[in-house]
Each structure stands twice: as C-alpha cells, then as structure tokens.
Amino acid sequence: MNRSKHICLSLHCSLHGRYHELAPHLVPMDYTNDPDVKVPLALIVNMPELKENPFRNRIVESFSEDGQGNLSFNDFVDMFSVLSEMAPRELKAIYAFKIYDFNVDNYICKEDLEKTLNRLTKEELTPEEVVLVCEKAIEEADLDGDNKLSFADFENMISRAPDFLSTFHIRI
Amino acid sequence: MDPTDAVFSTDHRVPSSHLLLDQLPSYQSLLYRRKSSGSARRRGSGRVRQPSVISGKWLEQKTVHSGEELRPVRELPKSMEDKRQEKEQRLQQGGAPIGWGLWRLNVHRSLKRLKEDGMDLLSSLQLWRADVHLIEGMFGTGILSYFSFLRFLVLLNFIMFLLMFVFVMLPVIITSHTSLNITYSSTDVRDCSVYPSSSRQGLVVFHQHITDLLSGTGFLEQTYLFYGYYRLEFIHSAFSYNLPLAYLLTTVSYLLLSLVWIVKRSASGFKRKLIQDEDRFQSFCNKIFAGWDFCITDENAARLKRSSLLYELKMDLEEERIKQKMANRTRCERFRIYMLRAAVNLFVVAVLISCFFCIYVATVFSQQKQDEEQSNFLLELMVEYLPSIVITLANFITPLIFNLIISFEDYSPAFEIRFTLMRCVFMRLASIGVLLFSLWSQITCGSSHCSCGYNHHRYPCWETHVGQEMYKLVIFDFLIIAAVTIFIEFPRKIIVNHCDCALAKWWGQQEFAIPQNVLEIVYGQTICWIGTFYCPLLPAINTVKYFLVFYLKKVSLMTNCRPATRPFRASSSHFFFLVVLLIGLALASVPVTVSIAEIPPSRACGPFVNYTSSWMVVPRVITQLPHSLSSVLMALASEACAVSLFVITCLGMFYVIALAGAHKRVIEQLRDQLAMEGRDKRFLIQKLCQAQQGVFARSPDRGCHGNRQDAGLYFVRETKA
C-alpha cells in the first residue's frame, strides 16, 4: 500500500479501516489489486468527523473525481491528508477555494458567499444582514474589482487570515 | 449589463471566456507554483535533490532544466491517480540514480523518517496532550489557548524551581550532609544581628501548627523555605562557591529566562497581530472563510460555534453601524461625550485610589496586630490573611464596577471589552505593588527608629517576612480558586439544572470567562516572580498550585460550563495573554530590583549580611578577579559604555522602523499592481472575445459543430503565426 503524503503509515492503515467501516459490503479489506470501488456521498457525510460540518457535502464533492461526491479510497486519503495539520497553507487554500465555490465556476461570487454564510449561520441572519455581510466581504477581498473573488483574491485574503490554518483541519 | 460583464455571458456561439481563463498560465501555475518563503514547515521541498526510485514511498523533487522548481508530488492538488502518473512521468524524465546517489537518497530518506518519528514522539510526551485535545474538541480554540497558557506557566515555574534548587539550595543541602569547610556570613554590627528563634516554645496547641503552616511562621520560618535560612557565605571544596553571588545571579537569570521565553512565544502571535491590524477591515472574510472550526464533532459544540459566529457577525455589523454614527456626531454631542468620559475616568481613578488605600490600611493593621497574641484561632488567621482578603475582595468588586460604567462611555463594543480588560489588569497588578509598598513603609522605619536601615526590633529578618507575605498570598489565591470552584460553581450547576426558581433563571449556567481566569493566573505568576527572591521554594509551590488548578478548571469546565457567548478570538487571545504576562513580569522586576539595589539587607539572616546592599556582592567579586578581566567588566559598566549602547539601540530602532515603513509602501504598491493586472486581464479577454465574435459573425458555419475550445485555440494559434 502506498504510504501517502502527510499521513504516517499507522494512520494510513486506520484510515483504510475507517473507509471499510463506511460501507463494509462495498469496500474489500484487501487492496492489493487496487479495486475500483467508490463510496457514495451519503455514506461519507455521516462520518462523525464530518457530521457536524456545514460544508460536508462540498468538502466531499471537491475531493471526488466526478464532482458528485463518490470517493475512492485514494480520494478519501487525499481528503484527510489535505485536511490534516501537516498540509501546507497553499494546498489548503486551493481546496478551500474549491469547497466554497458552490457553482464550480472558478469564482466565489455573491451567491456562493450567501450560500456559505447561510450554511454557517443556519439562516439566522436576516436577508439584509446577509447581503450586507457579503458585500463587506467582497469589498475586503476583491482586488481586481469584478465583484467576485478569483483564486488570486481568495489566496491573498486567506494568507492574511490568522485563523485559517488552525480551523481548516480535521483530526482523525 | 456592463459592457465588461458581457465577457462572462453564456453565449454558446463563441468560446466561453471561462475556457480561456482556464488556459491562462497563471491558472495553470496554481498547480505548479513556486515555493513561497512562508511555508517553512514543508519538509525537504525547494532544494535540489536526486529523483527517487520507484519504491512507493515519499517522492523527492528535482529541478527542471528551465530553473523552475517542482513541488513534491504529495503537495499537488490532484487526485491520487494523477499524482501517481505525475510521479512516473517525473521519473521517466529524470531517470533513476545508481550507486552513490541511491545510497545517499536512502540515507536521507531514513533520516527524515527518523526525524518525523522523533517529532511525533516528542509531541506525544507533551504534558496533558490528551486532555488539551479533548478540551479543544469540545470547547474550541479559545478555551484551548487558556489551558495551553496554563501548561506553559507550569513548565516555566518548574524550570525556575530547578534553577533555584541547583544553584542555591543544593549547595546548602550538600554542606549540611558533608563536612565541607564553610564560612558563615557574619557582621560586626552587634545589635541588629539578633535573630530570635521562631519555633514555638512550651506546649503547642494543634491549631497553632495549622496557623504556622498556612502563614509560614513558627516551625516553617527557619527552613529552606525562606531567605533567612541561607546564611552561608562561602563553601570551600575544590573551589570556593560564593553563595550570595549565586543567589543574586540566579534571581537575575530567572527573570531574564522568563523574559526571553515569553518573548519567543509571543513572536509568532505578534507577527500575526501586526498583519491583522494592518487590515482591520479583513474581519468579515476571516470570519466567513476561517471561522468554522473543522475539528468540531459534537452537536452541542457545533450549535455553540454557530451561535458564537452569529454573535460575532452581528457585533461586527453593529460596530460598522456605530462607526457610522460616530462619524455623524455633531460637535455639541462630541463635547458632551468627552466630558462624560472624563467624569467616568475620574470616577475610576477614585475607585482605584480608595481600593489602594484600603489595602494599605489593612496591611498596616495586620502588621501591627501580628505582634500581639490572638485568643481565637480563626481571628489569628484572619489577621494574618487580612491583606490577601482585602486584595481579593477588591479584585472581585472592581471588574463589576468597570463593566457597569463602561456602557456610559459610548465606545464601540470591541474597544469596550479591551478597555475594561486593561483596567482590570491594572487593578490586579497594582494591588500587589500597593501591598509591597505598604510592607516596605512598615519595614523601613515606619514609626520607630532604625539604626540599621530597617526596623530590626520588629523584623529581625525582614526578607523572610516579605517572603511570608508572598507565601500567604499564593496559598490564599489557591484556596480562593478552589473554594470558588467547589462552593460556587458546582452548586450553581445544581441549582440551575434542578431548581426552577427566578434565581436560577437570572443567574444562568456558568460561562468560562477566559479573561478573568487569565488575569487570575497572571496575578499568581507575578507574585511568584516577586516572591522567589525571598522564598526560594515558591516556584515549586506555584508549580504544584498550577498543576492542581489545571485539573480543577478542567473538571469545572467539563461539568459546569457552557462556552462564553462572547467569543474570545483565538488568534489574538494568545497574544493578549502573553502581553499581560509581560506586563506582570515588568511589574515584578521593579520591586525585586529596588530591593536588591536600595534596601539594606538584614544583618541577622540571609547570605547578604556583610554587604550594604545585596547588589554589592557583584562589585566586590569583580575587584577580586584578575586585573584584566575586572577592568574589562568595569569598563562595561561605566557611563561611556552605557551611553554608546543606548545610542546604538536607538539607531537600530530607527532603522527597523524605517524598514517597516518601506515594506508597507511596497505592499501597497504591489496590491495596486495586482488589482491593475486583474483589470488588464479582463480588458484583454473582453477584446479577445469581441474579436472572436467578429470572426464568428463573418463565418457562422465554422466551428459550430466542432470543439469550441479547439476553435478558440486554433484561432489564437493562427494569429500568432
């Protein structure tokens, strides 16, 4: 089995155990033949580490190859590797951008921001407040003046966000 | 629709600009970006390395011929399959090394693995790691920072104790068990050097033992615990060990060690704080994109995090609104507000002065009453602990007053919180200063004559007395923390959970108020720093105290508390703790310095009996050194050296300030450039699409059925040629 990136070998084995737990009838214990098995989105978002995350659907979708949230074991390891403490800031910024880009158009536009905010606060802000907050956020981060955040804007902003590294990680 | 926005319309006749944007080199370089200097944590990247053999392990990187460096495969934002293909591709390009290169590569890789495993082991040995992880998972990073701050203080106190033990206590312990030659410190001033034994004579009632234990008198007074016991001057073995010098240098070194360690810890937080202050307007983005803690697994914690984020966003919107309101204030209103603020500040000063006066009176009263024998055991304890009680009461009441009056001053919410905190910090730390001042006014000839520079009738060994007061403060502080936790927080939980009365509703469930808890432990640490000179075992007592406080607070947190509705930002809170700790250290070093340099040491006890002031050890030792060394040291201490050092420091400071200003200007220029580049890009793409639109308009049947992307590329290639 390939030992991957920011995760050590023992964790890799336990990750396989967790992956198998998600769908025992689907996932074989023996991975030497590299079977082509994908666990669907619905099973993955019920993991205890992801259950309470408001962005769980988007997280799983951004790490899946087909964009629908069906993760193979490699994608699964990928996901927890990027979200581990050891992954570098730039890599996390790339995936964070993908996660917050709901309509997958390589821009975080106002609608994406509004969706993010509503997921975060479970729609407890009034619509005017939501619009105001989104406007202020775009005002802060948008550098090229197109009223949406390209990856350059996003990365520039996130490099100055002091909490990003400490909050954008999942412990498994 | 804005003409420039037409670029982004979904007109399927022309190639989508989205596809064009994907082909841009800057987007492609997302995947292969140059290493930035900030990610120092990435191991092994950015250096020239031989390509690896296929072994299913870490992939090293190699430099591409053009000079651009590739990132390690594991850091590419691709799926695992693509990464494997990438790895094979790179290996085909590079070719496998043989022999010497291969051996070096394997050694390097195994060393790296060893280092990583070593770091894993070290981090697993960290004190309370499991507990702290649990707290972080349940309550978030704000409260975590309090507990990691507490852990840091436990370690700091332990190191201070080790310093004192090795250099001061261990020699004395060794001499009492071996037969080394000792020179006791003696003086020729006869009448001040009488030190009556403090152990109680005759029949001792049991409660007097308890009083002695709690106030450091009686059987505890002439032990290793206090300064007075260390009456040696020289210990002669292979060399001559100068105990007074060791005592003095250990004091200076523990202060310096604390300073260095705190500054080192706060450096990273300070950098982040500078960046954050630069862009104060960043707060919304930070909350939206970096606000949710992905570690949260508990439903309650998620609900609380959500409500705290909501609260923060509402607070920020409120602040915007207030800023708007403040900008619109008329002159008349502004004048009224300033008058009100001046009146409130006067009131605050009056409150502070009255508290300090109470502390002074309590200390003087307590000192006078201590000479008399008390009939009642409890009364005796009360008299001993009177200053501590008054200080604790003052520190309990004044935050309530400050919280009440800050609403009259009409500041923005964030500033209100900070200002109240600053006032509380000042109150806490200044109360210790007032206590010490009132002690010294008693010691250095408050009422009676003093031939030896201090009141030798009442205080034959005044340092031990000051040490006893510090000891009492520490013990009382711990008792109060334990008592509040056990007798107020647990019953509160029981009342709120089981009783449905108005009291329960008004009181509500306990919140873990981070600022007040931090102030408590900084207060304890400041006392420790001041008191270690007079009571060398105090760091050990403090270590044990903070050790127990950790478990007390943890249990209280888990069973009684819900997280605060006013969230304390993790990023700035750690920095805030260390700043307050630094203020405490600065305040602690003042009394220690004054007493070392100015106040004459007691003639009856302690290592400095022969000297006019404690600092005099150092010049005497220097004069006894060989002539060259002593002249060098004298020159270092002279005025010329001090002035030139000061001038150099000022020059260095000016240089750094100028550098910082220049960097700021460069950053602004780069930011403007970045914005301009973005606009250029959009303009060019718009022109490109318009031109293509023109081409398509002229030949409509071309490229309608073929690949849109190819058509665009084909067009671009044609124009290039």
Of A39-48, A149-158, B9-18, the one with minimum mean pLDDT is B9-18
Task: Indicate whether A78 and A7 sit together in one domain.
Answer: yes
Name residue B234's amino acid: F
Yes or no: say if B575 and B429 are a contact pair by the CB < 8 Å rule: no
Q: Min CA distance, A162 vs chain B (Å)?
A: 6
Which string of DSSP letters, residue by residue, matches B153-193? HHHHHHHHHHHHIIIIIHHHHHHHHS--EEEE---S-TGGG
Contact in structure between A126 and A110 (CB atoms under 8 Å): no
Closest of B335, B311, B338 to residue B414, by C-alpha? B311
Q: Is residue B3 part of a domain?
A: no
B36 and A90 within 8 Å at the Cβ level: the answer is: yes
Q: Measure A21 CA to nearest chain B CA, in Å.
A: 18
Give the tens place of pLDDT for each residue, B100-123.
888 888 889 899 889 888 888 877
Q: Same domain, yes or no, for B546 and B643?
A: no
State the Cα–Cα distance between residues B579 and B386, nearest whole angstrom.
30
Within 8 A of A137 by CB-CB distance, chain B residues are: 284-285, 288
Q: B637, B659, B686: which is the final residue of a domain?
A: B637
Mutate to test the interface with A, among B8, B59, B80 (most CBs of A within 10 A): B80
- Nearest chain B residue (CA) to A46: B297
CB contact under 8 A, A137 and B284: yes
Higher pLDDT, B73 or B30: B73
Q: How remote is the C-alpha of B295 from its chain's centroid?
A: 23
pLDDT at B40 (0 to 100): 32
pLDDT at B394 over 90: yes
For B100, other C-beta atoms within 10 Å of its C-beta total 9
The count of C-alpha atoms lying within 13 angstroms of the C-alpha of B208, restricted to the half-sphere facing its C-beta, is 13
Structure confidence at residue B156 (pLDDT): 95
Burial of B208 (0-12, 13-18, 19+ CB in 10 A): middle
pLDDT at B331 over 70: yes
Do B154 and B191 lie in one domain? The reply is: yes
Q: Mean per-residue pLDDT for B509-522? A: 84
* Residue B545 and residue B493 in one domain: yes
Same domain, B650 and B521: no
What the block records as the tokens of B555 is 């249990």
- What's the pLDDT score for residue B721? 40
Q: What's the mean pLDDT in B239-252? A: 90
User: Which of A2-6, B35-39, B590-594, B681-685 is most confident?
Assistant: B590-594
Out of B80, B285, B309, whose CB is closest to A120? B309
Task: Please give the Cα distance from A154 to B695 (Å, whole number).
Answer: 35
Are residue B465 and residue B365 in the same domain, yes or no? yes
Per-residue pLDDT, averaged over B10-29, amounts to: 55
* B685 interface with A at CB cutoff 8 Å: no
User: Which tokens hold the place of B41?
Assistant: 């944590």
**Are B665 and B630 within one domain?**
no
Per the prediction, chain B carries an average pLDDT of 79
Do A147 and A119 belong together in one domain?
Answer: yes
Q: Which of A1, A3, A5 is the best mutation test for B, with the most CBs of B within 10 A? A: A5
Q: In what order do the strands lie in the sheet with B240-242?
A: B181-184, B232-236, B240-242
B301 touching chain A per CB within 8 A: yes
Provide the pLDDT for residue A1. 36
Taking the Cβ of residue B669 and every Cβ of chain A, the question of whether any pair is shorter than 8 Å is answered with no
Q: Is B672 within 8 Å of chain A by CB?
A: no
Region B173-180 average pLDDT:
83
Q: Name residue, tokens 């890789």.
A: B109
Percent of chain A residues topping a pLDDT of 90 = 13
**What integer pLDDT is reported at residue B579 of this predicted model?**
87
| A95, A152, A162 ranked by CB distance to B276: nearest | A162
Nearest CA in chain A to B55: A2
Reading phi first (left if > 0) and then psi (alpha if -120 to 50, else beta), residue A106 is in left
pLDDT tens across A141-171, in order? 887 778 888 888 888 888 878 778 888 888 8
pLDDT at B41 over 80: no
- Please report the ipTM that was assigned to this predicted complex: 0.90
* B580 and B657 in a common domain: no
Residue carrying structure tokens 């008592």: B483
Residue B233 DSSP SS3: strand
The pLDDT value given to residue B91: 77
Query: B47 to each of A2, B42, B672, how far by Cα in Å?
Result: 24, 11, 32
- Ramachandran angles phi, psi of A70, nearest 5°: -90, 115
> Does the beta-carbon distance from B75 to A91 stay under 8 Å?
yes
Query: A with B: how many residue pairs have Cβ under 8 Å apart?
Result: 185
pLDDT over threshold 50, residue B509: yes
Lowest-confidence range among B87-96, B352-361, B383-392, B614-623? B87-96
Among A166-170, B45-49, B500-504, the range scoring the smallest mean pLDDT is B45-49
Q: In terms of CA atoms, which chain A residue is nearest residue B321?
A: A132
Q: Which residues touch A37 (CB under 8 Å, ≥6 apart)? A: A26, A27, A28, A72, A73
pLDDT digits (tens, 9 = 90+) for B533-571: 999 999 999 999 999 999 999 988 888 776 555 555 544
Partner A contacted by B123 (CB < 8 A):
no
Residues 34-63 of B with CB under 8 A from A: 36, 38-39, 41-42, 56-58
Q: Which two tokens stand for residue B387?
A: 């200053």
B201-211 confidence digits (pLDDT tens): 777 778 888 88
CATH classification at residue A69: 1.10.238.10
Give SS3 for A84.
coil
Contact B30 A94 (CB under 8 A): yes
Total-model pTM: 0.72
- CA dihedral sign, ordered A118, A119, A123, A129: negative
Residue type, B101: G
A75 and A20, same structural domain? yes
Task: Say whether residue B710 is in contact with chain A using an 8 A CB cutoff.
Answer: no
pLDDT the model gives residue B13 = 45
- In a shared domain, residues A9 and A75: yes
Radius of gyration of chain B (CA): 34
Q: How far apart (Å, rounded) are the C-alpha atoms in residues B275 and A36? A: 47
Share above pLDDT 90 across residues of chain B, in percent, rounded to a whole number: 25
Give the pLDDT confidence score for residue B356 in this predicted structure.
94
Phi, psi of A71 (to 5 degrees): -100, 130
Q: Could you write out the DSSP letters of every residue in B391-404?
A: HHHHHHHHHHHHHH
Among residues A66, A83, A100, the one where a domain terminates is: A83
Confirm or reject contact between B6 and chain A (CB < 8 A): no
Tell me, yes or no, whether B689 lies in a domain. Answer: no
Report the number of distinct structural domains present in chain B: 2
Residue B79 and residue A164: Cβ atoms within 8 Å? no
Write the CB contacts of B65 (distance below 8 Å, at least 6 apart in sequence).
Answer: none
Judge if A79 and A103 occupy the same domain: no
- For A63, nearest residue in chain B (alpha carbons): B79
Subunit contact B21:A106, Cβ cutoff 8 A: yes
Q: Which of A56, A83, A110 is the last residue of a domain?
A: A83
Determine, for residues A162 and B285 on separate chains, whether the beta-carbon distance falls below 8 Å.
no
pLDDT exceeds cutoff 90 at B373: no
Percentage of chain B beyond pLDDT 70 is: 80
Is residue B634 over pLDDT 80?
yes
Residue A120 and residue A96 share a domain? yes
Q: What is the span of the domain harbouring residue B657?
A: 638-673
Does the beta carbon of B113 lie under 8 angstroms from any beta carbon of chain A?
no
B294, B299, B677, best to mutate vs chain A, most A CBs in 10 Å: B294
Do B646 and B556 lie in a common domain? no
Per-residue pLDDT, averaged over B618-638, amounts to: 86
Encoded tokens for A30: 């023996």
Test A162 with B284 for CB contact under 8 angstroms. Answer: no
* pLDDT, average across residues B324-340: 87
A9, A51: one domain: yes
Q: Same structural domain for residues A31 and A78?
A: yes
- Tokens encoding B684: 């060019």
B182 strand-pairing partners: B235
- Mean pLDDT across B699-709: 48
Note the pLDDT of residue B275: 61
Q: Is B33 in contact with A90 (Cβ distance < 8 A)?
A: yes
Exposed / middle / buried, residue B439 (Cβ in 10 Å: 0-12, 13-18, 19+):
buried
Q: Is residue B717 part of a domain?
A: no
Confidence of residue B184 (pLDDT cuts 50, 70, 90): confident
Q: Are residues A39 and A77 in the same domain?
A: yes
pLDDT at B386 over 70: yes
Q: Which two tokens stand for residue B32?
A: 């292969």
Q: What is the DSSP letter of B42?
A: S
Same domain, A55 and A20: yes
Q: Do the domain assignments include residue B137?
A: no
Judgement on whether residues B566 and B646 belong to the same structural domain of the protein: no
Asked if pLDDT for residue B61 goes beyond 50, the answer is no
Judged by phi (left if over 0) then psi (alpha if -120 to 50, else beta), residue B79 lies in: beta
Looking at the structure, do residues B596 and B658 belong to the same domain, yes or no? no
**CA-closest candidate to residue B273, choices B575, B518, B7, B563:** B575
Residues in B touching A4 (Cβ below 8 Å): 74, 80
Q: How many CB atoms lie within 10 A of CB B698?
A: 8
Query: H-type helices in chain A, by residue range?
Result: 9-22, 41-44, 48-51, 56-63, 73-82, 89-100, 110-121, 127-141, 151-159, 164-167
* Predicted pLDDT of residue B31: 46
CB contact, 8 Å: B573 with chain A?
no
In the DSSP assignment, the letter for residue B33 is P
- Closest partner residue to A170 among B22, B295, B569, by Cβ? B295
Q: How many C-beta atoms surround the C-beta of residue A168 within 10 A? A: 25
Q: Determine whether the interchain pair B22/A77 forms a contact, defined as Cβ–Cβ distance below 8 Å.
A: no
Q: Is residue A29 part of a domain?
A: yes
DSSP state of B689: H
The answer to whether residue A111 is domain-embedded is: yes
* Paired tokens of B62: 């190699």
**Per-residue confidence at B609, pLDDT binned at 50, 70, 90?**
confident
CA distance B672 to chain A (A): 8
**Which of B289, B292, B676 is the best residue to mutate to test the A interface, defined by the most A CB atoms within 10 Å of its own CB?**
B289
- Cα–Cα distances (Å) from A9 to A2, A80, B159, in that order, read 9, 14, 36
Cβ neighbours of A117 in B, within 8 Å: 288
In the predicted model, is pLDDT for residue B277 greater than 90?
A: no
Tell whether B288 is within 8 A of chain A (Cβ). Answer: yes
A72 and A123 share a domain? no
pLDDT tier, B304 (very low <50, low <70, confident <90, very high otherwise): confident
Given a cut of 60, whether residue B200 has pLDDT beyond it is yes
Whether residue B440 is found in the same domain as residue B450: yes
Residues 316-375 (B) with a CB less than 8 A from some CB of A: 317, 320
Q: Give the separation between CA A157 and CA A155, rounded to whole angstroms.
A: 5
Cα gap B159→B144, rounded to integer Å: 23
Closest chain B CA to residue A65 = B79
Residue appearing with tokens 């070093």: B589
Q: Is residue A23 part of a domain?
A: yes
What is the per-residue pLDDT for B568? 58
Q: Choose among B33, B317, B572: nearest Cβ to A129.
A: B317
How many structural domains are present in chain A? 2
* Residues in chain B, total: 721
Asked whether residue B416 carries a pLDDT value surpassing 70, the answer given is: yes
Helix H or strand E segment including B365: helix B331-370
pLDDT in tens, A73-127: 888 888 888 888 888 888 899 999 999 999 888 888 999 999 999 988 888 888 8
Is A172 inside a domain boundary?
no
Nearest Cβ partner of A74 from B58, B80, B314?
B80
Mutation for testing the B interface, residue in A72, A116, A136 having most B CBs under 10 Å = A136
How far, rounded to the nearest angstrom, does the alpha carbon of residue B615 sit from its chain's CA centroid? 31
pLDDT of B39: 34
Pairing of strands B510-511, B561-562: parallel
* Residue B403, number of CB atoms within 10 A of its CB: 14
Domain boundary among A32, A54, A83: A83
Phi, psi of B612, rounded to the nearest 5 degrees: -75, -30
With respect to residue B110, please indicate whether it lies within any of the assigned structural domains: no
Q: What is the pLDDT of residue B705?
A: 43
Which ranges constitute the DSSP H helices of B485-537?
A: 490-498, 502-507, 514-531
Bridge-partner residues for A151, per DSSP?
Answer: none
**CB burial of residue B48 (10 Å; 0-12, 13-18, 19+):** exposed
Identify the residue whose tokens are 């005099």.
B616
What is residue B718's predicted lDDT score, i.e. its pLDDT?
A: 39
A155: nearest CA partner in chain B: B30
Phi-psi region of A67 (alpha: psi -120 to 50; beta: other; left: phi over 0): left
Distance from CA of A60 to the nearest CA of B (A): 13
B187/B192 Cα distance (integer angstroms): 9
Last residue of one domain, picked from the residues B637, B653, B686: B637
Beta-carbon contacts of residue B654 (< 8 Å; ≥ 6 apart): none
Give, in degrees to the nearest 5, the angle at Cα B644 between B640 and B645: 115
Last residue of a domain, one of B579, B612, B637: B637
What's phi and psi for A108, nearest 5 deg?
A: -95, 100
Burial class (CB in 10 A: 0-12, 13-18, 19+), B377: middle
For residue A72, the enclosing domain spans 3-83
Provide the sign of the torsion angle of the four alpha carbons B227, B229, B232, B235, taken in this order. Answer: negative
Q: Write out chain A residues lying below 8 Å of B294, CB-based.
A: 53, 83, 167-170
Please give the pLDDT value at position B246. 92
What SS3 class is residue B54? coil
Q: Is the pLDDT of residue B67 over 70?
A: no
> Comparing B89 with B504, which gets the higher pLDDT?
B89
Q: Nearest residue on chain A to B569, judged by CA atoms?
A: A163
User: Which residues 13-32 of chain B have a CB within 8 Å of chain A?
Assistant: 18, 21-22, 26-27, 30
Is the pLDDT at B505 greater than 60, yes or no? yes
Mean pLDDT across the stretch B468-486? 92
B647, B578: one domain: no
Higher model confidence: residue B43 or residue B295?
B295
Please give the full DSSP string across B593-652, using - where no structure is assigned.
Answer: HHHHHTSPPPSSSSTTTTSSSGGGHHHHHHHHS-HHHHHHHHHHHSHHHHHHHHHHHHHH
Q: Are residues A56 and A94 in the same domain?
A: no
Which of A55-64, A83-92, B569-578, B692-701 ranks highest by mean pLDDT?
Answer: A55-64
Query: Mapping DSSP to helix (H, G, I), strand (E, B) and coil, where does residue B236 land?
Result: strand
Q: Which residues on B lie below 8 Å from A47 (Cβ)? A: none
Res B164: pLDDT: 93
Judge: B295–A2 Cβ closer than 8 Å, yes or no: no
- Cβ contact B56–A2 (<8 Å): yes
pLDDT band at B349 (very low <50, low <70, confident <90, very high): very high
Span A12-32, average pLDDT: 83
